[in-house]
C-alpha cells in the first residue's frame, strides 16, 4: 500500500513533507477563525452576516495572494514562494488576537488570506514536479489530507486554550504564529525541483496565454468554474458548521458546548483525512473524472441529510462521512492542473484556476451567514448541495488527465 513512498527518492519525499506541513499549518491558521467565531461575535458585537463577510474578505485576499505567489513560484522557485507565504499567514494570524475593532480584524484577515493563498500553488507545483506520474495522485492526496490534520489541531488547540486554560479567543490566535518556525526549515532543507531548475536554465517559449488560451480556453474556464463551485460549497459549509453546532436551539443551532463542538470537529477531520487519501488512490486507478463526479454527487446528498439532522449523535456519525466526500475531491485538483499545464507556467496556471475559483467562493460565508440569519441554518447549509452538483456538471467539458506526463 505504501510501496510508492518507500520507492520514492529522498528529494520527492522531502518535497511532499514540506508541502504537506505547509498545507496543514495553513489549515490550522485559517480555520481558527471559524472555531472561535461565536466568541468573536459576542466580544466585538457583530452579527452573522458581518462575521461571514470577514471570512469572505479572507478568501478574496487569498485569491489575490494565490495569483501573485503563483507567478513568484514560477520566477523565484517553489520553495522560496512557499516559505514567504507561510511567514505571512503566520504573522497575521497572531495579529488577529490583537484586534480591538471589526475594522482591525478585517485588515489582519486580509493579509492572512494573502499569505494563505500563496501556499497551495507553490506546494502543489513542488509535489507535482518531484513525483512520478503513476504516483502523483497518491502524493497529492496525502499533501491535501494534511488540511484535515491542521483543522483537527486547530480544534484541539481551541479546546486547550479556551476550555482548559481559560485564556479566551485572542490567545487561540497567538498560537497561530508557530508555523513561522516551519518556514525556516523549508528555507534550509528543501531543494527546488530538478524539473523547475532545468526549465529556468533553458527557458521554455510557452507563454501563459498559449497554455491557458486558444484550444485550452474552454477547458481552463471549466476547471476554474468547477473549482469555484467546490470551494463555494466547502467554505459555505465549513465556515458555519462550528457555529451551527454551538448555537442554541432557540437560535436554530444544536446547542453543544464549546468543548463538545471541538471534538465533533476533530471526529469530522478523521473522515476528511481518509477522503483525501482515498481520492488519490482511486483516481490513480479509475481516473480523475469518475472519482471527482462520484465524490461530488455523494457530497450533495449527504449535506442535505446533515443540514436537516438535529440529533447530536446522528450529526456525530454523519460528520465524518460528509467530510469524506465533501472535501476529499480537493486531492484531485493539483494532479489535474499539473497534467494540463507545462512547467514554465504551471504554478501560475494552478494559482489562477484555483484562486479565481476562490473569488467566487468568497461569497459563500457571507451568503450562508445571511440566509442563516433570516431562514435558519438548515436552509443556509443546503445551498452548498447545489454548488456540489454544479461542480460535477462541469466535468462534461474537462478531459480525463490520468496517465498524462508533465512537461
SS (H, E, C) 49-64: HHHHHHHHHHHHHHHH
In the numeric block, the cell 508555523 is attached to 179
**Domain-located, residue 4:** no
The pLDDT assigned to 72 comes to 80
205: burial class by Cβ within 10 Å (0-12, 13-18, 19+)? exposed
* Helix spans in 129-168 (H): 136-158
The CA–CA distances, whole Å, from 148 to 68, 74, 237 equal 26, 28, 15
**Domain-located, residue 407:** no
**Domain-located, residue 115:** yes
313: burial class by Cβ within 10 Å (0-12, 13-18, 19+)? exposed
Say yes or no to pLDDT of 138 above 80.
yes
Q: 403 or 253: whose pLDDT is higher?
A: 253
Nearest to 196 by CA among 18, 346, 374: 346
In the numeric block, the cell 471534538 is attached to 263
**Domain-located, residue 402:** no
Cβ-contact 146, 341 below 8 angstroms: no
CA separation for the pair 182, 186 (Å, rounded): 7
The pLDDT assigned to 9 comes to 83
Give, rounded to a whole angstrom, the gap between the first and last alpha carbons of the chain: 28
In the numeric block, the cell 494559482 is attached to 351
Confidence of residue 308 (pLDDT cuts 50, 70, 90): very high
Cβ-contact 18, 186 below 8 angstroms: yes
**Domain-located, residue 267:** yes
Q: 301 or 21: whose pLDDT is higher?
A: 301
**Domain-located, residue 227:** yes
Q: 390 or 53: whose pLDDT is higher?
A: 390
Residue-wise pLDDT tens digits, 364-391:
888 888 898 888 888 999 999 999 999 9
Residue-wise pLDDT tens digits, 14-34:
888 888 888 888 888 878 888
**Domain-located, residue 329:** yes
Sequence-distant (6+) residues with CB within 8 A of 25 are: 86, 90, 150, 178, 179, 182
The pLDDT assigned to 389 comes to 96
The pLDDT assigned to 293 comes to 95
- Per the structure, the complete domain to which residue 376 belongs is given by 11-396
- Number of domains comprising the chain: 1
Residue-wise pLDDT tens digits, 208-264:
666 566 677 888 889 889 999 999 999 899 888 988 898 888 888 899 998 999 999
CATH at 80: 1.20.1250.20
**Domain-located, residue 404:** no
Say yes or no to pLDDT of 96 above 90.
yes
Say yes or no to pLDDT of 94 above 80.
yes
CA separation for the pair 205, 203 (Å, rounded): 7
The pLDDT assigned to 205 comes to 56
Cell of 37: 467565531
Say yes or no to pLDDT of 405 above 60.
no
Amino acid at each position: 500500500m505504501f510501496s510508492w513512498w518507500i520507492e520514492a527518492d529522498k528529494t520527492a519525499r522531502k518535497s511532499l513533507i514540506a508541502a504537506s506541513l505547509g498545507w496543514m499549518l495553513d489549515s490550522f491558521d485559517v480555520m481558527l477563525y471559524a472555531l472561535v467565531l461565536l466568541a468573536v461575535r459576542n466580544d466585538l458585537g457583530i452579527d452573522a452576516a458581518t462575521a461571514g463577510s470577514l471570512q469572505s474578505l479572507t478568501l478574496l485576499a487569498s485569491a489575490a495572494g494565490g495569483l501573485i505567489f503563483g507567478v513568484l513560484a514560477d520566477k523565484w522557485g517553489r520553495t522560496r514562494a512557499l516559505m514567504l507565504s507561510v511567514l505571512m499567514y503566520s504573522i497575521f494570524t497572531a495579529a488577529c488576537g490583537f484586534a480591538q475593532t471589526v475594522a482591525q480584524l478585517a485588515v489582519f484577515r486580509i493579509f492572512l488570506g494573502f499569505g494563505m493563498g500563496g501556499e497551495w500553488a507553490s506546494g502543489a507545483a513542488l509535489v507535482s514536479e518531484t513525483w512520478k506520474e503513476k504516483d502523483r495522485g497518491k502524493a497529492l492526496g496525502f499533501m491535501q489530507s494534511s488540511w484535515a490534520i491542521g483543522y483537527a489541531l486547530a480544534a484541539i488547540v481551541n479546546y486547550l486554550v479556551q476550555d482548559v486554560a481559560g485564556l479566551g479567543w485572542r490567545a487561540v490566535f497567538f498560537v497561530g504564529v508557530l508555523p513561522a518556525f516551519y518556514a525556516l526549515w523549508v528555507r534550509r532543507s528543501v531543494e527546488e525541483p530538478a524539473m523547475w531548475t532545468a526549465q529556468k536554465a533553458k527557458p521554455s517559449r510557452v507563454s501563459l496565454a498559449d497554455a491557458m488560451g486558444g484550444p485550452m480556453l474552454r477547458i481552463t474556464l471549466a476547471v476554474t468554474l468547477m473549482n469555484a463551485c467546490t470551494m463555494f460549497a466547502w467554505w459555505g459549509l465549513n465556515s458555519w458548521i462550528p457555529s451551527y453546532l454551538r448555537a442554541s436551539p432557540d437560535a436554530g443551532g444544536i446547542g453543544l458546548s464549546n468543548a463538545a463542538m471541538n471534538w465533533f470537529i476533530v471526529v469530522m477531520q478523521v473522515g476528511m483525512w481518509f477522503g483525501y487519501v482515498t481520492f488519490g488512490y482511486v483516481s490513480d486507478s479509475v481516473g480523475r473524472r469518475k472519482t471527482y463526479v462520484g465524490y461530488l454527487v455523494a457530497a450533495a446528498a449527504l449535506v442535505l441529510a446533515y443540514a436537516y439532522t438535529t440529533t447530536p449523535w446522528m450529526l456525530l456519525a454523519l460528520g465524518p462521512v460528509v467530510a469524506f466526500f465533501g472535501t476529499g475531491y480537493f486531492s484531485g485538483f493539483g494532479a489535474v492542473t499539473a497534467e494540463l499545464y507545462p512547467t514554465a507556467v504551471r504554478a501560475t496556471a494552478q494559482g489562477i484556476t484555483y484562486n479565481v475559483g476562490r473569488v467566487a467562493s468568497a461569497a459563500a460565508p457571507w451568503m450562508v451567514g445571511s440566509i442563516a440569519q433570516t431562514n435558519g441554518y438548515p436552509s443556509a447549509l443546503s445551498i452548498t448541495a447545489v454548488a456540489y452538483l454544479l461542480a460535477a456538471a462541469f466535468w462534461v467539458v474537462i478531459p480525463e488527465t490520468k496517465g498524462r506526463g508533465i512537461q
